[in-house]
Amino acid sequence: MASLTEGNTRPVRLADIAKAAGVSHGTASNVFSRPEIVRQEVRERVKAVAEAMGYAGPDPKGRLLRAGKVNAIGVATTEPLSYFFDDPFARVMMSGISEACDATGAGIALVSAGNQEKLAWNIQSALVDGFILFCIEGGSRLVELTRERKLPFVALELGFHDETISAIGVDNVAGGRLAARHLAELGHRRFAVLSLTLGEDRTGFVTPEEVRSAIYTGTRDRLAGYFEELSRFGVDTTKIPVFETENEAASTRAGLEAIFAGGEPPTAILAMSDRMAMIAIEWLTARGLAVPGDVSVIGFDGVPDAALCDPPLTTIAQPITEIGRRAAHMILDFDGAVRRETLGVELLVRASTGPAKA
């Protein structure tokens, strides 16, 4: 009856099998990891014993310690885990990462955490060979934490001006210019910008000084691109309202309210993400303003949904999948070097932009 009571018996280990089969643990190990070097008779006996004892196969936990390599790359963010499946930008990026991982047989471990403390723990204890960081918000902390693990990592979006870390991003200045030129050439002269965050935990209109001292250089560069190009067309960029949102519905709508509360509403909106752009289109339409009849809207990112909204969104497309693929390869083929890659962007003209109203 003892055997019945001890229902919670510990699992059989390789050593147990070895002893029961009367072979050394070295041989038992070989039966599973390099069966070809073990004599057939022995191999079969050991396998039979393993089967009989209910052995689950070599435990990866043990193997891992010896082998050193996990064969998985961690993708980390400060957003909740569902971000990876809900956010269109993240999804396309993950698709690119998946592709590279599939090709090499590596796995993907998703790492995230709501609060700071858990984030630290999760980064510290993730079983991965390297990290890809989604530097959305709280990015600097994420980078610090990851740096301490002393594993290879890449930051997506060259958010911070830190040349010591590997990063992949797009030419934000060029993207900004492309967007601005497109609208300017359509005759627009009154603009408003829906901006991504410039620092942490901020929202609302921003002043030119705040722009200059921005932590997030990605945001700053897009803005710089917009402004540089618009000044060439003689637009007084100091008059352009720039509203910083959290890249979601509530703050974006608040921004639109604020922007359109003024006396001279813009005829074109430069949104720094497709998400904001789509929210803007919805808001404008609901307000009875025609897009692009009354107001033109241009996005940034080039997520698939942007092609499907009504009207289809004109936007600056990033090579999102390619960024993901490259990021994964940077980790998978890590050689110790710090790499910073900047990819090009492309203007995708669809139907949300049109000539300025006369």
Partner DNA sequence: GCAAATATTTGAATCGATCCAACGAAAGTG
Partner DNA sequence: CACTTTCGTTGGATCGATTCAAATATTTGC
| Least distance in angstroms from the C-beta of 164 to a second copy | 15
Number of neighbours of residue 158 by Cβ within 10 angstroms: 23
Write each residue from 287 to 316 as x if it is in contact with a second copy (CB under 8 A), else as -, in one continuous string: ---------------------x--------
The amino acid present at 110, given as its one-letter code, is L
34 exposure class (CB count in 10 Å sphere: 0-12, 13-18, 19+): exposed
Interacting residue with a second copy among 22, 37, 44, 86 (CB under 8 A): 86
- Residues that bind a second copy (rule: CB under 8 A) add up to a total of 50
Number of neighbours of residue 279 by Cβ within 10 angstroms: 24
DSSP secondary structure letter of residue 245:
-
DSSP secondary structure letter of residue 8:
T
Task: Note whether 184 and 233 are within 8 A (CB).
Answer: yes
With CB under 8 A as the contact rule, which of the stretches 56-64, 176-184, 244-252, 343-351 interacts with a second copy? 56-64
> Is residue 47 a contact residue for a second copy (CB under 8 A)?
no
From DNA, a second copy, none, interface partner of 342 (C-beta below 5 to 8 A by class): none
**Residue 108, helix vs strand vs coil:** strand
What does R_g of the chain's alpha carbons equal in angstroms? 27
| Least distance in angstroms from the C-beta of 166 to DNA | 23
Interacting residue with DNA among 32, 89, 243, 300 (CB under 7 A): 32
Two structure tokens written together for 170: 């797009």
Two structure tokens written together for 302: 């080039």
Interacting residue with DNA among 1, 4, 8, 26 (CB under 7 A): 26
- How far apart, in whole angstroms, are the C-alpha atoms of residue 302 and residue 224? 20
Closer Cβ to DNA, 58 or 187, answer by number:
58
Contacts of residue 103, defined as CB under 8 A and 6 or more positions apart, other chains included, come to none
> Is residue 329 a contact residue for a second copy (CB under 8 A)?
no
Closer Cβ to a second copy, 122 or 203, answer by number:
122
With CB under 8 A as the contact rule, which of the stretches 109-117, 234-242, 245-253, 343-351 interacts with a second copy? 109-117
| Least distance in angstroms from the C-beta of 149 to DNA | 11
- How far apart, in whole angstroms, are the C-alpha atoms of residue 215 and residue 273? 18
CA proximity to 161, closest of 216, 201, 225, 210: 216
- Ranges within 34-63 binding DNA (CB under 7 A): 34, 37-39, 41-42, 57-59, 61-63
Positive or negative torsion for Cα 340, 341, 342, 348: negative
Phi and psi (nearest 5°) for 228? Answer: -55, -50
> Is residue 67 a contact residue for DNA (CB under 7 A)?
yes
- How far apart, in whole angstroms, are the C-alpha atoms of residue 350 and residue 206? 29
Interacting residue with a second copy among 31, 70, 198, 297 (CB under 8 A): 70
> Which residues in this chain contact DNA in the complex, by CB under 7 A?
10-11, 13-15, 22-27, 29-30, 32-34, 37-39, 41-42, 57-59, 61-63, 65-68
> Which residues in this chain contact a second copy in the complex, by CB under 8 A?
11, 54, 56-58, 60-65, 68, 70-72, 80-82, 84-86, 91-92, 94-95, 98-99, 101-102, 105, 107-114, 118, 121-122, 124-127, 148-151, 308
